[in-house]
Structure 1
Amino acid sequence: MSVVSPADTFRRSVAAQQRSDRPLLDGRLRDLLAGKKILMTGVTGFIGEQLLWKILTDLPDTTPAVLVRRKRSAGARDRMITVVKKEIFRSAREAAGGPEALLDSRIDVIEGDLPNVPPLPNDIDVVVHCAGDVSFDPPIDQAFTTNVVGTQALMDRMIEACSDDSGNLVKVPHYVHISTAYTAGRRRGAIPEAPHVHSIDYEAETKAGLAMRDLIEAESRTSEQLTKLRKQAEREHRQAGYLTTAADTERRRQEWVQAELVKAGTERARSLGWTDVYTFTKALGERVVAEVGANIEVSVVRPAIVESSWLHPYPGWIEGFKMAEPLILAYGRGELPEFPASPDAVVDIVPCDHVVNAILAVCATHPRIGEPEFYHVNSGARNPLTFQGLYERIREYFLEHPLEGGPRGAAKLPQWHFPGAASVERLLSTSERAHKLADRLLDKAPRSARTRKLALDLDRTRGRLDFLRRYLSLYNEYAQSELHFVDDNTLALTESLHPDDQPIFAFDTAVYDWDTYIKDVHCPSITTTVRRMDALRRRRGNRPTTMKDLSKNKAGASALAVFDLDGTIMSTNVIEQYLWARLPEMSTPRQVAELGQVLQRLPAYLRAERRDRGTFLRAVYRRYAGADLEALEEFVDTQLAPTILSRLSPDAGRRIREHRAAGHTTVLITGVVRPLTRPLHPLFDVVVAADLATDDQGRCTGFLTGPPLVGESRAAWLTHYAALHDIDLSRSFAYADSHSDLPMLSAVGNAVAVSPDIALMRAAAANQWTTVEWKIAPTTPRWALPR
């Protein structure tokens, strides 16, 4: 009696299907596909690009035709020139005499899109449909449009091209559909190379999926949803102004629509037994292929997780990051503390060149008309790799070849224990709650360099948590998958390759070992670019992007240099300035009384500033009622000027002088009352400040002559001034410290955040503006009053 494990039975899979009656190869691929025209979609993608390279390199008598969509101003031909300029096409390009010559001599370019497919040439023999939405969580309408509607449109055009005017087929094309092994959904156990049994009405599901966008768009415009989004935007942007708040409200609405469309797709897929909307719509696409292709030759290729190449065009070739790369790099940086995988679950990885070779071999077969053939291209059947094995090899690689972790050296690699999905979810949820609490506390902390550092640390933590949440949500099901993809058809096909084709077209996934592939091929490939960029950043340092070297600036008088005052070039605030200006003229009892009243009103002032800075300034300036404006100006000129100038940042002073030396018009724009800006007039060409209204005796009324220039009104002033004086704002500069100045900073081409509050610091990071710290060391203590 022999003992056979389920795994042994699965790997051997000898009785699953009869190989003898499957379409096999009876010659060399270059001969079998000679004179054929293969129409391809998705050629600008990962698999499609290598498929084109393989045809151009190893199938000299085969003509590839490519369906490529226009992208903005770049037409299909322009995009294909960009493709064939890539390094892997060097030999083919040089042999043809250049990229344009290569297109003219070997490649038919057809401009079109899915599902808007143009009429196809009638001399096509094979159609390879590589295009498709490969994101696991696309919006539901987009997934159906690409993977279902687009597939049907392509097949309809293909059949039309091969038919006469009466609709009768004059030639039988071979349609090769590139799907995914994970169309099996949430099944367990062995998955045969056959259609998946289900009773889903793909036409009804497609209609409902496409309708979801209109439904969710309508819901996003209800008063309840708009009120919720507007209040969220106001909490963050109220100080900046109504237009900024409105723009952020609309941004949040659009993001909400996208998130709800993604959620709708995920929930619908899982309610019917699939992991996500990607695999769900790909499965429905297979049903479309079977029905539309009832009278033609149809093959369906189902790759597993496609990663970098094993051999061709060179070991480790990859375009962009696929499924595993972000996780591998996060682990190497010490940012992936655990993973919700079952350690003994198989992670079914297959190199890209094996997939491409299998596709071309399938193209050379002739399946029976109306009987689609299915091929699994995967490694789990005969060369299984578990998550435990993958983790150990990746860990060994990074221990031997660590990524730089910053000034402290190599990142510390976490040690995984595979505690299960529930434990990982609890850890992540706890971390998210702790981060949210810390962020709320930090929001109430006073502004300082330490507060900004804590905020940066929190933002980095938030980024890591968001990364973990997204990827754990996407891959949780795959990490615990118990699918076993039978690959008898694929094995029979690879065994039928001509001996001379074995070195260049082989796709038997049992021929390589995982130690070599992961540690010597895949990991070095995906980390090379990262290491190069890290090294470049270390050499260059954190070079500013908007804090430009003015000695080389040629904008001259066509540029402005606009500076805020409080907190930007000076360490002061309007309440402190008011006390400087008013207390010295008062008797000691009146000083004590005035100071007490200001302190009593301080909480109300702070609340007003959080709501609207203009309201706050008006409230403070009411206290100037009764002051003699002329006497105030004289006091500033004769007594207060040294105190004001002592609070001027030396860094700011140097920067202002650099702008003047470059010929820029320097502008001080502030909500401070004009008398207090008088000591700074020599530094600026234009001073925009708040003007105190006076009565007929020259005494201040407590009101202003016009609204204070804050928030969006500063941006409006800049735009108007620029129009009047032929100023190019795209070449101009602005410096500010407060989130309320976001509109002003956004109005110029070179915005700089100076010792910013947390909200502006985050906005600067999002807009790639330079952030600088301008230190100010006053020569007089803050409590000392001018005499």
Structure 2
Amino acid sequence: MYLLLRASNDDLAANRLQDEIIGTYLFRVLRDEWGEDFDSFMSKKVIVIPGDVSLENLGLKDEDLKNEMLKEIEVLVNFAASTKFDERFDISMGVNTTGALNVLNFAKSCHEINVLLHISTAYVSGEIADGEAVKEKPFEMTQSLKKNSKLDIHVEMNLLEKKLDELRAKNASEITIKYAMKDYGLERANLYGWPNTYVFTKAMGEMLLVHYKDNVPLIIIRPTMVTSTYKDPFPGWIEGIRTVDSVICGYGQGKLACFLGHPKTILDMVLNVVNEVFCHFFQDVYDDNFNKIQKVIGLGKMYKPYVFFKAVFDDTNTENLRRETKRHLNKEAVGLGFDPYSIDWTDYMMNTHIPGLTKYALMK
């Protein structure tokens, strides 16, 4: 496996591989299995490469290595993303939009490419009407979430560059540019109906992939909230504090006494699963007074599109995949376990996810 990591040279990429991936507790099962041979085992399986998806040819500097990759790669998976809701527009655009196109162009040059798998987010849908089903259909170029408006991605890119040039011409400080870019991203996202820069730039990335894919087989996966591992390689692993965990941790640490949300909102976790465990966890909060609400104003604004989300994601494609997997694979392989109805969600949240969150994300 060729693993592209954002780094400027081989040493920094190797350090990231060790510190952020194989050196983490997640790999303890393999380490226990291979013992002293673990490092040599991994070096035979994984070739780490410094690069950057926001750059042409993914920022690859070694021509021989690039040509080797182009000859050998059969499956290309793009999970590079800037996931901050309010990230700088230029950074988010570079990774989530331009980056997706750069990966596609690289895939087109791969001699044996069988599929390009792109990880997006279910919330590219934006805010949907109450009870409406969100279908898994691709975006079209110029599509906007606001009626009577058209989105031109290339115009957006040009406007972004113009905005940056204007700021630099005024000798704006880096901190000024940073916050100007954050505000500008939210402004452009809201203009076309998306609630934040993250989902706006991910939606534009999808548009470019679908429009320019030509003969490259393309799969787009749109997960919702990512929580901790259910079973494999062991229960409860999570890297950092994600989405809903900010609220869980805030409550657990006594920093949040309450958090507003629509009582009928379905909080989707692990591929669009209907989940009411969140209400179970916070059942003692609802009777608390709301005098401390000012402390959560920032989180409230950020999560408003999601805790008041009233639509339902259609997961027909995932269900079809699950059924086909069960039909074709042997009984042992069926243990892939992505049937949401087989999970006791109260037990998972209380005895797997929250303990794992405490152990792996908070106790570092």
Q: What whole-Å deviation, never above 9, does each CA across 1:647-674 have from its counterpart, x for those lacking one?
A: xxxxxxxxxxxxxxxxxxxxxxxxxxxx
Contact conserved, 1:173 with 1:296, CA < 8 A, in 2?
yes
Contact conserved, 1:346 with 1:481, CA < 8 A, in 2?
yes
Shift of 1:394: 4.1
Q: What whole-Å deviation, never above 9, does each CA across 1:90-112 have from its counterpart, x for those lacking one?
A: 34345384453123321122221
Contact conserved, 1:337 with 1:415, CA < 8 A, in 2?
no
Query: Equivalent residue for 1:104?
Result: 43
Task: Select 2:336's aligned residue among 495, 505, 510.
Answer: 505
- Identify if the C-alpha distance between structure 1 residues 502 and 200 changes in structure 2 by more than 3 Å, giving closer, same or farther: farther
Q: What whole-Å deviation, never above 9, does each CA across 1:565-610 have from its counterpart, x for those lacking one?
A: xxxxxxxxxxxxxxxxxxxxxxxxxxxxxxxxxxxxxxxxxxxxxx
Question: 2:104 aligned with 1:155, yes or no?
Answer: yes
Query: Equivalent residue for 2:278?
Result: 390
Contact conserved, 1:141 with 1:211, CA < 8 A, in 2?
no
In structure 2, give the amino acid aligned to 1:470.
G
SS at match of 1:305: coil
Contact conserved, 1:180 with 1:282, CA < 8 A, in 2?
yes
Shift of 1:306: 0.7
In structure 2, give the amino acid aligned to 1:506.
G
Shift of 1:320: 0.8
Query: Equivalent residue for 1:192?
Result: 135
Task: Select 1:180's aligned residue among 94, 103, 121.
Answer: 121
Query: Equivalent residue for 2:319?
Result: 491
Contact conserved, 1:144 with 1:209, CA < 8 A, in 2?
no
CA distance in 2, matches of 1:135, 1:263: 13
- Identify if the C-alpha distance between structure 1 residues 525 and 103 changes in structure 2 by more than 3 Å, giving closer, same or farther: closer
CA distance in 1, matches of 2:169, 2:323: 56
Contact conserved, 2:238 with 2:360, CA < 8 A, in 1?
no
CA distance in 1, matches of 2:98, 2:280: 42
Query: Equivalent residue for 1:135?
Result: 84
Shift of 1:131: 0.8
Shift of 1:478: 1.0
CA distance in 1, matches of 2:51, 2:287: 49
Question: 2:3 aligned with 1:66, yes or no?
Answer: yes
Name segments (4+ residues, structure 1) moved above 6 Å.
none
- Identify if the C-alpha distance between structure 1 residues 108 and 268 changes in structure 2 by more than 3 Å, giving closer, same or farther: same
CA distance in 2, matches of 1:267, 1:201: 15
- Identify if the C-alpha distance between structure 1 residues 427 and 296 changes in structure 2 by more than 3 Å, giving closer, same or farther: same
Question: 2:295 aligned with 1:295, yes or no?
Answer: no
Task: Select 1:378's aligned residue among 254, 259, 272.
Answer: 272
Query: Equivalent residue for 1:514?
Result: 345
Query: Equivalent residue for 1:76?
Result: 13
Contact conserved, 1:144 with 1:210, CA < 8 A, in 2?
no
- 5 Å matches for 1:32-431? 64-70=1-7, 74-82=11-19, 83-93=21-31, 94-95=33-34, 97-116=36-55, 117=58, 118=60, 119=66, 120-162=69-111, 171-188=112-129, 189-196=132-139, 198=143, 199-218=150-169, 221=172, 253-350=173-270, 377-379=271-273, 384-386=274-276, 389-395=277-283, 415=287, 428=293
Shift of 1:208: 2.1
SS at match of 2:342: coil
Q: What whole-Å deviation, never above 9, does each CA across 1:541-584 have from its counterpart, x for those lacking one?
A: xxxxxxxxxxxxxxxxxxxxxxxxxxxxxxxxxxxxxxxxxxxx
Contact conserved, 1:192 with 1:486, CA < 8 A, in 2?
yes
Shift of 1:179: 0.3
Q: What whole-Å deviation, never above 9, does each CA across 1:266-308 have from its counterpart, x for those lacking one?
A: 1211110111110011001001111221211000000001111
Shift of 1:504: 3.4
Contact conserved, 2:240 with 2:361, CA < 8 A, in 1?
no
CA distance in 2, matches of 1:349, 1:96: 35
Q: What whole-Å deviation, never above 9, does each CA across 1:292-328 have from its counterpart, x for those lacking one?
A: 2121100000000111111112111101111122211
CA distance in 1, matches of 2:97, 2:152: 12
The alignment covers a number of residue pairs equal to 339
Contact conserved, 2:237 with 2:360, CA < 8 A, in 1?
no
Shift of 1:505: 1.6
CA distance in 2, matches of 1:91, 1:186: 41
CA distance in 2, matches of 1:98, 1:79: 20
Shift of 1:338: 2.9
SS at match of 1:306: coil
Shift of 1:207: 2.7
- Identify if the C-alpha distance between structure 1 residues 415 and 159 changes in structure 2 by more than 3 Å, giving closer, same or farther: same
SS at match of 2:354: helix
CA distance in 2, matches of 1:136, 1:213: 20
TM-score by length of 2: 0.84
- Identify if the C-alpha distance between structure 1 residues 279 and 286 changes in structure 2 by more than 3 Å, giving closer, same or farther: same
CA distance in 2, matches of 1:481, 1:219: 41
Contact conserved, 2:8 with 2:51, CA < 8 A, in 1?
no
CA distance in 1, matches of 2:332, 2:156: 43
CA distance in 1, matches of 2:42, 2:70: 17
CA distance in 2, matches of 1:283, 1:195: 9
CA distance in 2, matches of 1:530, 1:299: 31
Task: Select 1:479's aligned residue among 307, 312, 326.
Answer: 307
In structure 2, give the amino acid aligned to 1:378.
N
Contact conserved, 2:239 with 2:360, CA < 8 A, in 1?
no
CA distance in 1, matches of 2:342, 2:163: 46
- 5 Å matches for 1:618-657? none
SS at match of 1:121: helix
SS at match of 1:136: coil
SS at match of 1:122: helix
- Identify if the C-alpha distance between structure 1 residues 276 and 322 changes in structure 2 by more than 3 Å, giving closer, same or farther: same
- Identify if the C-alpha distance between structure 1 residues 528 and 296 changes in structure 2 by more than 3 Å, giving closer, same or farther: closer
Contact conserved, 2:229 with 2:235, CA < 8 A, in 1?
yes
- Identify if the C-alpha distance between structure 1 residues 393 and 125 changes in structure 2 by more than 3 Å, giving closer, same or farther: same
CA distance in 1, matches of 2:83, 2:37: 32
Q: What whole-Å deviation, never above 9, does each CA across 1:367-400 have from its counterpart, x for those lacking one?
A: xxxxxxxxxx311xxxx224xx51332457xxxx
CA distance in 2, matches of 1:147, 1:503: 33
Larger gyration radius, structure 1 or structure 2: 1
Shift of 1:258: 1.7
CA distance in 1, matches of 2:6, 2:104: 17
Q: With CA pairs under 8 Å and 6+ residues apart, which has the higher RCO, 1 or 2?
A: 2
- Identify if the C-alpha distance between structure 1 residues 347 and 300 changes in structure 2 by more than 3 Å, giving closer, same or farther: same
In structure 2, give the amino acid aligned to 1:293.
K
Q: Which runs of 5+ in 1 are unaligned?
A: 1-63, 163-170, 222-252, 351-376, 397-412, 418-423, 432-464, 534-787
SS at match of 1:149: helix
In structure 2, give the amino acid aligned to 1:304.
T
Q: What whole-Å deviation, never above 9, does each CA across 1:168-189 have from its counterpart, x for those lacking one?
A: xxx4431000000001112331
Contact conserved, 2:104 with 2:213, CA < 8 A, in 1?
yes
